[in-house]
Amino acid sequence: MQRIGVDAVSVARVALAVKRSGRGFLNKVYTPAEQAYCAGDAERLAGRWAAKEAVIKCFDGTSICFPRRRIEVLPGPNGAPRARLLGNDRGARVEVSITHHSRLAVATAHLEMPDLVDSLLPAPEPVLLPERPRDAHKGTFGTAVVLAGSLGFTGAAYLAATAAARTGAGLVRLLVADSIYPILAAKCTEVMATPVTEVAPGAIGHAAYDSILRQLTGAEVGVIGPGLGRDRSTWRLVLDLAVHARCPLVIDADGLNALADSPRAKGKLGKNRVLTPHPGEMARLMGRTIEAIAADRTAAARKAAREWGAVVVLKGAHTVVAHPDGRCNEDPHEVPALASGGTGDVLSGIIGGLIAQGSEPYAAAVSGVYIHAAAGRRIAQRLGESGLLASDLLLEIPQVMNVLRQGGL
């Protein structure tokens, strides 16, 4: 099978991206060899950008999302540009041509595929889904306890809890402050909303520690932090739960802010913790700038996993999942449509839902990230890249999992 892709990009646009984001932009798009060859030259960088986009367009209409960094465009022996699909060992051949017209870099890609196009996807670690025995009951698939929500952030609690249920957890219990309980009780039909005594309007404080710890003791997983708020007593509660709870915990959003406020907790968290920061939260966790994190996301995730003693999910295009033992996985998806409030809450619920069913935390994180991104991509194919709501993902989760179980995606 043969495919052709064409793309053009403004040289000035690429130069502006380099000026604004520097090393972060370069590391996101270009391999080290490409960066060395281009040496900051905007025309060369633009030419390679256009060539990568042209190669990506060869996959239009397929389920493939080939990352730009895994397409390397360098001069061949005769000086003409030559493209390589890094990680592809299936015999695919790509020919590219690059020209410059006025202020544009224009590229054409010609892709020859001896095998099915789906075989070209750079394989992440396996997406492992929990088994669903024929004689199962709700107890078979575990209980997830979600501690989330505060005044103005009831949606975060709803999204995380419902995502855990949609992923297949047998029971989901949502713990929320007294004053927002009526909202969540009405909103969450299948999730068991439970009121918790609050220390301020909408805020759960450390006084609830013992009762929440008991709830977690009887669960397979806890999801802590989405929309939980920034009351100091809330942060003390999160910190103690993160250290002492015996079940696995997925810690997100305000839960991560609580940890960042207590760097002494590094290396002291309980076993089987999963931290799910976006770049800003990661910068706070590591005491670095967002730009420093973006400069080498894989190294940042690995370092955070080692220092915190937890699985770290650094969210963004090509989300990175790192384990304290050195294992690391980069998701193949770029889904701009997921740049919408609440989608991270859904991801924390998906990971929690997988752990509830028996997945170990690292495998749940890798698989959860893939399911989340694939769901977003499928919705974007229908709606476009803008306008996706976090709640749109909820019904897509089981559909993606069903396709995966049948060997698709």
Give the mean model confidence (pLDDT) for residues 177-201: 97
Name the percent of the chain lying above pLDDT 70: 92
Same domain, 183 and 227: yes
Same domain, 292 and 197: yes
Distance from C-alpha of 299 to C-alpha of 295, rounded to nearest angstrom: 9
Q: What is the pLDDT of residue 409?
A: 63
Phi, psi of 3 (to 5 degrees): -140, 150
- pLDDT higher than 70, residue 91: no
Same domain, 326 and 178: yes
Instruction: Identify the CATH number of the domain in which residue 245 sits.
Output: 3.40.1190.20
Same domain, 53 and 94: yes
Q: Classify each residue of 114-133 as buried b or exposed e, where b means 16 or more C-beta atoms within 10 Å of its C-beta.
A: eeebeebbbebbebebbeee
Of 120, 148, 179, the position where a domain reaches its end is 120
Do the domain assignments include residue 397? yes
Of 120, 153, 184, the position where a domain reaches its end is 120
Q: CB-based burial of residue 222 (10 Å sphere; 0-12 exposed, 13-18 middle, 19+ buried)?
A: buried
Same domain, 145 and 290: yes
Same domain, 172 and 207: yes
Q: Which structural domain, as residue segments, surrounds residue 347? A: 138-405
Do the domain assignments include residue 130? no
CA dihedral 260, 262, 264, 270 (to 10 degrees): -80
* Tokens matching residue 212: 């929440």
Give tens-digit pLDDT for 105-159: 999 999 876 544 444 444 456 678 888 888 999 999 999 999 999 999 999 999 9
Do the domain assignments include residue 131? no
Give the range among 17-21, 193-197, 241-245 with minimum mean pLDDT.
17-21
- pLDDT higher than 50, residue 211: yes
Same domain, 314 and 264: yes
Instruction: Identify the CATH number of the domain in which residue 26 sits.
Output: 3.90.470.20
Distance from C-alpha of 99 to C-alpha of 270, rounded to nearest angstrom: 56
Do the domain assignments include residue 133? no
Same domain, 199 and 258: yes
Which tops the pLDDT comparison, 164 or 32?
164
* Tokens matching residue 221: 């997983």
Same domain, 166 and 102: no
The tally of domains found in the chain comes to 2
Mention every residue, 6+ apart, whose C-beta is less than 8 A from residue 232: none
Spatial contact of 10 and 18, defined as CB atoms under 8 Å apart: no
- pLDDT higher than 80, residue 63: no
Task: Count how many residues are written for the chain.
Answer: 409
Give tens-digit pLDDT for 328-387: 998 888 899 999 999 999 999 999 999 999 999 999 999 999 999 999 999 999 999 899
Do the domain assignments include residue 391? yes
CA 337 to mean position of chain CA atoms: 13
Do the domain assignments include residue 206? yes
Q: What is the pLDDT of residue 209?
A: 98
Same domain, 184 and 316: yes
To which H or E segment does residue 4 belong? strand 2-10
Q: Which stretches does DSSP call E strand in 102-248? A: 104-112, 143-147, 171-177, 192-196, 198-200, 203-204, 221-224
Mention every residue, 6+ apart, whose C-beta is less than 8 A from residue 260: 281, 284, 285
Mention every residue, 6+ apart, whose C-beta is less than 8 A from residue 68: 28, 29, 30, 49, 52, 53, 56, 334
Give the mean model confidence (pLDDT) for residues 221-233: 98
Of 120, 147, 172, the position where a domain reaches its end is 120
Which tops the pLDDT comparison, 56 or 222?
222
Distance from C-alpha of 29 to C-alpha of 111, rounded to nearest angstrom: 20
Distance from C-alpha of 223 to C-alpha of 183, rounded to nearest angstrom: 19
Do the domain assignments include residue 50? yes
* Tokens matching residue 331: 């998701």
Spatial contact of 148 and 249, defined as CB atoms under 8 Å apart: no
Do the domain assignments include residue 128? no
Same domain, 103 and 170: no
Q: CB-based burial of residue 358 (10 Å sphere; 0-12 exposed, 13-18 middle, 19+ buried)?
A: middle
Handedness of CA 354, 251, 265, 280 (dihedral sign): positive
Same domain, 101 and 241: no
Angle at CA 370, nearest 5°, toward 366 and 376? 150
Confidence of residue 89 (pLDDT cuts 50, 70, 90): very low
Confidence of residue 250 (pLDDT cuts 50, 70, 90): very high
Give the mean model confidence (pLDDT) for residues 155-169: 99
